[in-house]
């Protein structure tokens, strides 16, 4: 799991949310099994599951389960550090989170009634062999039955279309010398709320080197300026799509290696010092093959498809 402290163990960081990115508003859609890899309990914070099926036991054979499709607005499970927010029929409500712990099947979020601690429930998150969430099992309270929900597999046509658009984990290896004039199309945004990006959002992060020639009567002056630009399509106040862009001038680059010997997806780090950003730095995390896996810009962490 990436952590800036493995590169700078003694430094403290002030993190703010980029207000510009808050304009990426999306209609609700199902979550897919392939959307997100969960490697630690903290990975669930800010994430919302929207299952596609509810599972009922067959009334004649309890071992035979029936999957019933549900609407995209029927059920959702939003996870924050303190609360589990659930929408959907009889189980709708805000549940206090007591703990999030790993298990042999994935993770369990234990809930407790703040007014009556004897009333306890849970949300079990079932992970597959790739640490992707495949099912949810919710128990509202001590004396209620468990409810089973399944996460949808991504449709093949959607997967092929997204694989062709978003930057994948096999993107070219880079160094501080070869990072220039590249554009990345991230697949996922991790901030206070996690967000699966869509093709129509057109989120892209470009690293460019511009050569500027200034001419006067005596001589020409050549100036090279370097920028990191993030652009995307958001919405204006009338709900119309509009292009947004933020551009940061690069003052310098440094490369570091993680102190964690087990680091794979974040083994290397390219640190870009920039102007006009309160945090002063934009970080490019590289995997063991030196391909970009994560781009950290302020409080926003953008992950590459396949992360």
- For the chain, the structural domain boundaries read 4-26+156-303, 33-150
Give the pLDDT mean for 111-118.
86
Residue 25: its pLDDT value, please? 53
Cα 174 to chain centroid distance, Å, stands at 22
The DSSP code for 158 is H
pLDDT tens for 199-229 read: 988 999 999 988 777 777 677 778 888 999 9
Residue 155: its pLDDT value, please? 95
pLDDT tens for 279-289 read: 999 999 999 99
pLDDT band at 89 (very low <50, low <70, confident <90, very high): confident
Question: In the structure encoding, which two tokens stand for residue 226, read together?
Answer: 């370097």
pLDDT band at 18 (very low <50, low <70, confident <90, very high): very low
Cα 233 to chain centroid distance, Å, stands at 18
Edge-to-edge strand list for the sheet holding 300-303: 182-184, 204-215, 220-235, 241-257, 268-274, 281-286, 292-297, 300-303, 188-190, 194-196
Kindly give, in sequence order, each residue whose CB lies less than 8 Å from that of residue 15, ignoring residues fewer than 6 positions away.
Answer: 279, 298, 299
Instruction: Say which residue the tokens 């903290």 belong to.
Output: 42
Q: Is the pLDDT of residue 107 over 90?
A: yes
Helix or strand run (H / E) with residue 6? none
Kindly give, in sequence order, each residue whose CB lies less than 8 Å from that of residue 118, ignoring residues fewer than 6 positions away.
Answer: 142
> CA angle, corner 286, sides to 280 and 288, nearest 5?
155
For the chain, what percent of residues have pLDDT higher than 70?
Answer: 89
Name the least confident of 86-90, 170-174, 210-214.
210-214
Q: Is the pLDDT of residue 9 over 60?
A: no
Residue 100: its pLDDT value, please? 97
Residue 305: its pLDDT value, please? 93
């Amino acid at each position: 799991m990436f952590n800036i402290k493995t590169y700078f163990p003694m430094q403290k960081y002030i993190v703010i949310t980029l207000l510009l990115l808050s304009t990426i508003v999306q209609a609700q859609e199902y979550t897919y099994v392939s959307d997100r890899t969960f490697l630690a309990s903290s990975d669930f914070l800010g994430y919302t599951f929207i299952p596609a099926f509810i599972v009922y036991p067959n009334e004649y054979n309890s071992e035979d389960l029936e999957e019933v499709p549900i609407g995209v607005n029927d059920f959702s499970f939003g996870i924050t550090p303190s609360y589990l927010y659930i929408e959907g029929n009889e189980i709708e409500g805000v549940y206090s989170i007591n703990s999030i712990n790993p298990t042999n099947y994935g993770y369990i979020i234990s809930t407790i009634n703040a007014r009556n601690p004897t009333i306890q429930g849970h949300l079990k998150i079932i992970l597959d062999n790739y640490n992707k969430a495949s099912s949810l099992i919710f128990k509202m309270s001590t004396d209620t039955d468990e409810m089973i929900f399944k996460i949808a597999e991504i449709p093949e046509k959607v997967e092929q279309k997204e694989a062709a658009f978003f930057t994948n984990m096999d993107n070219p290896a880079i160094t501080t010398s070869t990072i220039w004039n590249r554009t990345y199309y991230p697949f996922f945004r991790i901030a206070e709320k996690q967000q699966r990006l869509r093709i129509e959002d057109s989120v892209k992060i470009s690293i460019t080197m511009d050569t500027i020639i200034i001419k006067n009567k005596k001589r020409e002056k050549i100036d090279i300026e370097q920028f990191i630009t993030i652009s995307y399509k958001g919405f204006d106040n009338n709900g119309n799509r509009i292009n947004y862009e933020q551009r940061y001038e690069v003052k310098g680059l440094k490369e570091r290696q993680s102190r964690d010997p087990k680091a794979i997806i974040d083994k290397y780090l390219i640190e870009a010092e920039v102007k006009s950003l309160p945090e002063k730095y934009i970080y490019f995390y590289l995997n063991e093959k030196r391909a970009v896996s994560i781009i950290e810009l302020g409080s926003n962490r953008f992950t590459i498809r396949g992360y």
